[in-house]
Amino acid sequence: MVKKVGIEVSVAIGEAVRLANADVVAAYPITPQTHIVEHLAELVADGDLDAAYIPVESEHSAMSACLGSAAAGARTFTATAGQGLELMHEVLYVASSMRLPVVMAVANRALSSPLSVWGDHSDVMAVRDTGWIQIFTENGQEVVDNVLCAFKIAEDRKVLLPVMIHLDGFHLSHVIEPIVFPEQEAVDKFLPINNFPFALHPAKPVTMGDFAPPIIYPEAKWAQEVNLRASKEVILRTWQEFGQAFGRHYSPVESYKTEGARVLLLTMGSFSETAMTVIDKLQGEGRKVGLVRLRLWRPFPFEELRQAVKGAETLIVVDRALSFGGPGGPVCSEVRSALYGQDKKPKVVSFVAGLGGRDITPAGFETIINRGIAIAQKGSANEFEIFGVRGADAEL
Amino acid sequence: MQNYNVYVPRLVPKKDTFVPGHRACIGCGEALAVRLACKALGSNVVIANATGCMEIVSSPLPTTSWKVPWIHTLFENTAAVASGIESGLKMLMKKGRIAREDIKVVAMAGDGGTSDIGLQALSGAMERGHNFLYICFDNEAYMNTGIQRSSATPFGAATTTSPAGKQSIGQMSWKKNMPAIAAAHNIPYVATACPSYPFDMMEKVKKGIDTPGPAYVHILSVCPTGWRCPTDLTVRMGRLAVETGIFPLYEVENGKYKLNFDFPELRPVTDYLKLQGRFRHLSDDLLAKIQKRVTADYAALKEKASDD
């Protein structure tokens, strides 16, 4: 029987990996991801997950071991955060370029220095262009469901790409939530056994990871780009199949009370839940404000985004990362560029907030919305606004 | 022994899995070592290769010199990749998704990929006890990028980043003792080898893969390009490295040292050093300093090997 349990989201991820019957987990501990790998180690130690757990000596080796394991044809999982994701950086490109279907949960964390173990999206944004499929999640249920979907998407023969599931460090990774776990039988039906077509095996020798002179390198990269874009079809199909099987539905862009809204707020990750309560409140006061949430980060859902913001006058994007010396929030730049060529488009205002785990309260979101509207009307000399920072924020 | 030349080739397995067509330099000792190692490994093997000379010469897309499953990913992570392959294959066999058989996992890297940038990943993989063989093909510098010094470059050798000059004697530090570092991990098998002693080398590679748990074989690979020596002296140079005591051939089995070739009297190191352009700037004083160190190191090794 399907039941709802109160469980820490990190532990729930371990349970999802168990349901997916992963073959190999290679991981290195880092806050705030530790509870995920601790629980996986426990599941393996108790024989509840029949997998090899490789306790590597660094994140660089974690992802490297994942390359080897996925290339051997094993279902492979890892998790990391912040500095760990940065240490993996060069290996991430190899995973996607060599078409190795690794699944990784990232408990999003700020980057040093100064050292911060708390959450923001600096780590995600630094690996934006590594060629991975990337999904932002909002709550524990979404994380669990998308870990299951991630294996199916990654291992699809038409895709064969690694997938990152992003969840906000602490704000999501460490909270206890009511989560529904699907039955093992239903998961097995939804998620077939991994059948990697180029597995390293003496019976069928393959050479993987050649070096490419200029005569062939651009073709290899273009093939990768075409493939990542085409993966969207499989992502949509997988979410659809998941919805049919388990009754929970996912889409690349989520709209919340956007009908008739003239002002839209755009967020990613768990802060969207806070934003929703603010939308409820403002709509109760008769204001035409709605929320758009970006779930699929790569491949970027251009069409869905354009549809979601069509008709709005103002779009306020709240980033949780800085692009130093650049246009402000990385998500906002992408949103702007996605809308730039459109005849009719909202004015886009960029806010950066919630760095290094600093909370954005409902009142904070309300301020952001009000200031965003004012900036859209009067304009601003700034490329972007920083919110909630002493010395930079006139209203504090 | 008159028929030696006729007889010996018959002892070497005919089948090659590292095949011609690759683009190694003329006289490459490493290509010779890889070829012989592959003969010893046989076909039931998966190889993870670090970035370096052998990777570059053997795999320009869309061609390959490898007739066994082979993967290259990065420079410093080869031991970690091998540990992933080993764990993956083990689990797939345990779950019955592939047939249960003795597939050997081998990691190959150069001296830079082993004793410098890849040391951490190698240490981790050895400590975790993965069942794999790691072969270091040591040509004593970053040859692929143009002869830059590594921690395996010998004292006094001139490289492009340890050049000899008015203020410099070339490499200022002594060669890092990588086999001793491997042995310090208490792994069951460590050996040094050189393709100038082909049967000894192949036997050690074989022993390495047949040993359950981690094994480490360190192979001196003469590089005429980087060492500035005649290309027809590759095999001779390897022999001189051994006969002078500069690169002794030994094994460490379960912690026990065994010297495979001992000489009643070592040749003077100058027999080896004088043939190489990388040492030609060395003064008599420095040559004497090297001789003193080699004699002492050899004696210490012999002492270890004689302990019971």
Phi and psi at B105, nearest 5°, equal: -110, 125
Min distance A394 CA to chain B CA atoms (Å): 49
Shortest CA distance to A370 belongs to which of A345, A382, A392, A387? A387
| Final residue of a structural domain among A207, A226, A246 | A246
Which of B62, B73, B84 has the CB atom closest to A94's CB atom? Answer: B73
CATH number at A29 reads 3.40.50.970
> Which tokens go with B184?
């310090």
Q: Would you say residue A394 has pLDDT above 80?
A: no
Min distance A51 CA to chain B CA atoms (Å): 7
Q: Are A155 and A68 in contact (CB under 8 A)?
A: no
Would you tell me which residues 181-240 of chain B have a C-beta closer than 8 angstroms to some C-beta of chain A?
none
| Chain A residue with Cα closest to B50 | A209
d(Cα A245, Cα B102) in Å, to the nearest integer? 40
Q: At what angle do helices B234-243 and B29-41 cross, to 10 degrees?
A: 80
Which of A66, A68, A210 has the CB atom closest to B64's CB atom? Answer: A210
Phi and psi at A16, nearest 5°, equal: -65, -40
Would you tell me which residues 83-122 of chain B have a C-beta closer than 8 angstroms to some C-beta of chain A?
83-92, 94-95, 97-98, 103, 120-121
Q: Would you say residue A396 has pLDDT above 50?
A: no
User: Tell me: the pLDDT tens digits for B122-136?
Assistant: 999 999 999 999 999
B70 close contact with A: CB closer than 8 A: yes
Phi and psi at A187, nearest 5°, equal: -65, -45
d(Cα B251, Cα A295) in Å, to the nearest integer? 57
Span B225-240, average pLDDT = 98
pLDDT of the residue at B104: 98
My answer on whether A352 and A236 are in the same domain is no
For domain B16-306, give the CATH number: 3.40.50.970
Q: Are B137 and B219 in contact (CB under 8 A)?
A: yes
My answer on whether A227 and A316 are in the same domain is no
Question: Is A260 part of a structural domain of the chain?
Answer: yes
My answer on whether A100 and A206 are in the same domain is yes
| Chain A residue with Cα closest to B57 | A211
| Chain A residue with Cα closest to B89 | A72
Question: Is A165 part of a structural domain of the chain?
Answer: yes
| Final residue of a structural domain among A213, A246, A279 | A246
My answer on whether A205 and A262 are in the same domain is no
Phi and psi at A213, nearest 5°, equal: -70, 170
Verify whether the Cβ–Cβ distance B73 to A65 is below 8 Å: no
d(Cα A30, Cα A80) in Å, to the nearest integer? 7
Question: Is A391 part of a structural domain of the chain?
Answer: no
Choose from B81, B90, B95 for mutation: most chain A CBs within 10 A.
Answer: B81
| Helices of type H across A247-394 | 271-284, 302-309, 330-339, 362-378
A67 close contact with B: CB closer than 8 A: yes
My answer on whether A108 and A41 are in the same domain is yes
Which of A69, A94, A210 has the CB atom closest to B87's CB atom? Answer: A69
Domain boundaries, chain B: 16-306
d(Cα B191, Cα A288) in Å, to the nearest integer? 75
Span A131-154, average pLDDT = 98
| Chain B residue with Cα closest to A21 | B95
Verify whether the Cβ–Cβ distance A202 to B69 is below 8 Å: yes
Verify whether the Cβ–Cβ distance B55 to A202 is below 8 Å: no
* Pairing outcome for strands A263-267 and A289-294: parallel
- Could you give the number of structural domains in chain A? 2
- Long-range contacts from A270-276, C-beta under 8 angstroms, 24+ separation: A270/A137, A270/A138, A270/A139, A270/A167, A270/A168, A270/A171, A270/A172, A271/A168, A271/A171, A271/A318, A271/A320, A271/A354, A271/A360, A272/A138, A273/A138, A273/A139, A274/A360, A274/A361, A274/A362, A274/A365, A275/A318, A275/A365
pLDDT of the residue at B10: 80
Cα torsion angle, B33, B35, B40, B46, sign: positive
Choose from A64, A88, A93 for mutation: most chain B CBs within 10 A.
Answer: A64
CA angle B81, B87, B88 (to 5 degrees): 85
A223 close contact with B: CB closer than 8 A: no
My answer on whether A199 and A283 are in the same domain is no
| Helices of type H across chain B | 4-11, 29-41, 53-58, 78-94, 111, 119-128, 178-183, 198-210, 224-227, 234-243, 270-273, 284-306
CATH number at A267 reads 3.40.50.920
Q: Are A301 and A335 in contact (CB under 8 A)?
A: no
Verify whether the Cβ–Cβ distance B77 to A73 is below 8 Å: no
Which of B61, B95, B121 has the CB atom closest to A61's CB atom? Answer: B121
Which range of residues forms the domain containing residue A308? 253-386
Q: Would you say residue B97 has pLDDT above 90?
A: yes
| Portion of chain A with pLDDT greater than 90, in percent | 97
Q: Are A4 and A180 in contact (CB under 8 A)?
A: yes
What confidence tier does A170 reach under pLDDT thresholds 50, 70, 90? very high
Min distance A180 CA to chain B CA atoms (Å): 28
Q: Would you say residue B209 has pLDDT above 60?
A: yes
| Final residue of a structural domain among A192, A213, A246 | A246
Q: What is the DSSP letter of A182?
A: P
Q: What is the DSSP letter of B268?
A: P
A91 close contact with B: CB closer than 8 A: yes
Verify whether the Cβ–Cβ distance B46 to A66 is below 8 Å: no
Span A198-227, average pLDDT = 96
Choose from B18, B54, B71 for mutation: most chain A CBs within 10 A.
Answer: B71
Span A69-80, average pLDDT = 98
Terminus-to-terminus CA distance in chain B, angstroms? Answer: 35
| Chain B residue with Cα closest to A89 | B74
Would you tell me which residues 263-282 of chain A have a C-beta closer than 8 angstroms to some C-beta of chain B?
none
User: Would you call A175 helix, strand, or coil by DSSP?
Assistant: coil
Would you tell me which residues 190-209 of chain A have a C-beta closer than 8 angstroms to some C-beta of chain B?
193, 200-202, 204-209
A58 close contact with B: CB closer than 8 A: yes
My answer on whether A129 and A235 are in the same domain is yes
My answer on whether A215 and A333 are in the same domain is no
My answer on whether A142 and A241 are in the same domain is yes
Span A276-300, average pLDDT = 98
Number of residues assigned to chain A: 396
Residue A217 amino acid letter: Y
Residue A266 amino acid letter: L
Span A72-80, average pLDDT = 98
d(Cα A157, Cα A254) in Å, to the nearest integer? 27
B146 close contact with A: CB closer than 8 A: no
Question: Is A392 part of a structural domain of the chain?
Answer: no
d(Cα B180, Cα B190) in Å, to the nearest integer? 9
My answer on whether A20 and A107 are in the same domain is yes
User: Tell me: the pLDDT tens digits for A354-384?
Assistant: 999 999 999 999 999 999 999 999 999 899 9
My answer on whether A146 and A259 are in the same domain is no
Residue B41 amino acid letter: L
d(Cα A61, Cα B173) in Å, to the nearest integer? 29
Min distance A23 CA to chain B CA atoms (Å): 6
Q: Would you say residue A1 has pLDDT above 50?
A: yes
User: Tell me: the pLDDT tens digits for B252-307?
Assistant: 999 999 999 999 899 999 999 999 999 999 999 999 999 999 999 999 999 999 97
Residues of chain B positioned with their CB less than 8 A from the CB of A51: 91
Which of A23, A69, A202 has the CB atom closest to B103's CB atom? Answer: A202
Residues of chain B positioned with their CB less than 8 A from the CB of A212: 60-61
Q: Would you say residue A222 has pLDDT above 90?
A: yes
A24 close contact with B: CB closer than 8 A: yes
pLDDT of the residue at A391: 87
Verify whether the Cβ–Cβ distance B91 to A51 is below 8 Å: yes
Choose from A53, A54, A219 for mutation: most chain B CBs within 10 A.
Answer: A54
My answer on whether A213 and A73 are in the same domain is yes
